[in-house]
Structure 1
Amino acid sequence: MKTSDPRPIQFDRLKLLGLSHYHQSPGVHPVPKMIPPGHELIELMTGGKGWVREGEEWREVVPGDLIWHKPGDDSIGRSEWENPYRCLAIALQSDRPEGLGIPRFSRWPEVEERNAFVSETVKAFYNPAFDRHLLLHYAVSRLLFSVYRFSRQQEQAKLPEPIREALKWIDRNYAEPCSVEALAKRVGWSAAHLHHAFRLHLGQSPHKALMARRIRAAQEQLASTRHPIKRVAVECGFADASALIHAFRGSQGMTPTAYRRQQIGPLSR
């Protein structure tokens, strides 16, 4: 996720000022509010249609759009009269006058996930027994996750189609034997072209991308199962345990056994 300020968010310096599922009245436009210094407003569209000012233009917003307003921005300022907009509105206060540096426009397209989040956060906010700071942590973290996930999806969408197809195949079939030549043939390119394109767009070779996916799969198994290293190696696409150990040490700076011990730690039995 690209932000104007990469510093991590310090939740102890944030305050949840308000949270509501706002329904704009039909036949009238809302009055846009300028966000003051040290404040942020998050508007997650849940229904209808609205518009928000972006520079000198009005940008249409529809269900799934996530608008993270920083100081100086205006909130949604126009609404479709017959189908007025509805949104989850979350008001925050922080110690950063310039804002948290989150991209203003993003999306949360998964309808069921989004609706469940809206419902549970509204219920929690109006439940006096629910800890507000815990709700702040949850709501902001979940929204940041959606922003980050959407940003990743956008980056993937900008890649040439053959690279996207190659990455999809690697993600689903990492355990299968695969050469760069065979992968290139699957996407209709030469091996040299695929290698050059991976370097250009991803900063790594197709082989490196495949090995990274296998390492992630091995990490998951090591942390969640008691499978022998030999079995983990074979199920993750490595020729044998020695190949896994060599690749894992080069990538993670430790052996698979040490990684498993680190992850399980006091939970080991």
Structure 2
Amino acid sequence: MIHHTIKGTAAAPVQLPTIHIVGDIAKKAGSGLGPRTIEDYELLYFPDASRSIYRIGDQAYTLNEPSFVITRPGETHAYEYDTQQPARHLFIHFGLPGEEQLLELLPMLRLDGPSCIAADDQLLAQMMKHILYIAYAHPDRLQERGSSMLLTLLTELNGQLYDNPQLAQIQRLPHQIVKALDYIDEHIEEPIAVEMLANRSGWSHEHFTRSFMQFLGRTPRETIIQRRIERACQLLLYEEWSIKEVAYRVGFIDENYFSRLFKTVKGITATAYRRKYNNPVYRNLVPVKETETMYPVNRILYNVWVK
């Protein structure tokens, strides 16, 4: 069998995973599978929240949100599918020709790695689906095209777990909070009452505030101020408005209050911020909603590639 490789360290190239079998199936409500053991690795993706249960050893994982499941060779495991609805899942069985090296690169696959990873991530889901599409439409190219994509999928999933452990522990924001953040961004010039945001979310004021503290680490009022100041930072660089006009554009009537608050949050005055970070490249840019991406828009990321 020919093993494809990609460039690795100076010591040796990295061998790609070898795909054995793939599938996308929906099991009848109340059915199950196992207990069983397998001789290779298996990556599964359950795209829908359900009451299905994955058991491995003495651990039981309820798949009540979109999740990836990792099963390793020799692990005894079983599935108990939702009794009320069919349980759809996508799966890929694969081997690791360069196992020692790949386990070094992907600690997620080690025996002490996680068995269930909650991840409602459309990029990862689409990569999984595309591997299955290649298997269906171009089976003779599966090892060439699908294996490299599988390694990328595993690398990205591994990165979400280990590259930033703090982020990996943060749950996806509830849609009520996302809606509140969108409203703040869209009405940044207007008075915004926390009680009104809570009412729009359908939550009580107390639950709304607790949720902001849980997911964002700050109260709704602190979040409003933070969003106003961040928008002001953009306007200071994108526009040639006076400090007073910038303050007004982000919802502050009192310029002096805005100036004091800006210095408290950013550590320097608004004038000093503009002078320090002013760059012609920022001209003609416009602010965008912070919730649209997981990275800061309108920022140029320097030194992301090192020769």
TM-score by length of 1: 0.51
| 1:70–1:104 Cα contact (<8 Å) kept | no
Pick closer, same or farther for the CA change 1:229–1:33 going to 2, 3 Å: farther
Q: What's 2:4 paired with?
A: none
Q: Could you say if the C-alpha distance between residues 129 and 168 of structure 1 is closer, same or farther in structure 2, counting changes exceeding 3 Å?
A: closer
Equivalent of residue 120 in structure 2, options 108, 125, 144: 108
Question: Matched residues in 1 for 2:21 and 2:227: separation?
Answer: 40
Q: Tell me which amino acid in the other structure corresponds to 2:120.
A: W
User: Which amino acid in 1 is paired with 2:90?
Assistant: R
Gaps of 5+ in 1: 1-10, 158-163
Indicate the residue corresponding to 2:226 in structure 1.
212
CA contact 2:212–2:219 (8 Å) conserved in 1: yes
Q: Deviations over 1:92-133 (max 9, x none)?
A: 7323595685572314375xx56532244564983637994x
Q: Supply the AA of the counterpart residue of 2:144.
A: P
* 1:183 corresponds to 2:194: yes
**TM-aligned CA deviation for residue 86 of structure 1:** 3.5
**Number of aligned residue pairs:** 234
When residues 64 and 247 of structure 1 are mapped into structure 2, their CA distance, relative to the original with a 3 A threshold, is same
- Partner residue, 2:22: 22
**Mapping of 1:68-217 within 5 angstroms?**
68-69=70-71, 74=76, 85-89=89-93, 93-95=102-104, 96=107, 104-108=116-120, 116-121=126-131, 123=134, 126=142, 128=144, 132=148, 136-137=151-152, 139-141=154-156, 151-153=170-172, 156=173, 168-174=179-185, 175-178=188-191, 182-184=193-195, 187=198, 197=210, 201=214, 203-217=217-231
Q: Deviations over 1:174-194 (max 9, x none)?
A: 414335xx3225536998x68
Determine if contact 1:70/1:100 at 8 Å carries over to the other structure. no
Aligned with 1:128: secondary structure?
helix
1:46 and 1:88 in contact (8 A); partners too: no
Cα distance change of structure 1 residues 121 and 218 upon mapping to structure 2, 3 Å threshold: farther
Aligned-partner residue type, residue 156 of structure 2: S
Change in Cα spacing, 1:236 to 1:69, as seen in structure 2 (3 Å) is farther
Q: Structure with the greater relative contact order (CA < 8 A, sep ≥ 6): 1 or 2?
A: 1
| Counterpart position of 2:46 | 45
State whether residues 16 and 91 of structure 1, in contact with CA within 8 Å, keep that contact through their aligned partners in structure 2: no
Output the CA distance in 1 between the equivalents of 2:259 and 2:19. Answer: 50
Identity %: 15
Q: Distance in 1 between matches of 2:146 and 2:204?
A: 58
Three-state SS of the structure 2 residue aligned to 1:23 is strand
The amino acid of 1:183's aligned partner reads V
Is the CA contact (8 Å cut-off) linking 1:171 and 1:213 kept in structure 2? no
What is the RMSD of the two structures over their aligned residues, measured on CA atoms?
Answer: 5.8
Of structures 1 and 2, the larger Rg is shown by: 2
Alpha-carbon distance in 2 for matches of 1:235, 1:187 = 24
* Structure-1 separation of matches of 2:176 and 2:255: 29
TM-score normalised per structure 2: 0.47
Task: Give, in angstroms, the shift of residue 208 of structure 1.
Answer: 1.5
Separation in structure 1 between the aligned mates of residue 81 and residue 208 of structure 2, nearest angstrom: 49
Find the aligned partners of 2:246 and 2:15 in 1 and give their Cα distance.
45
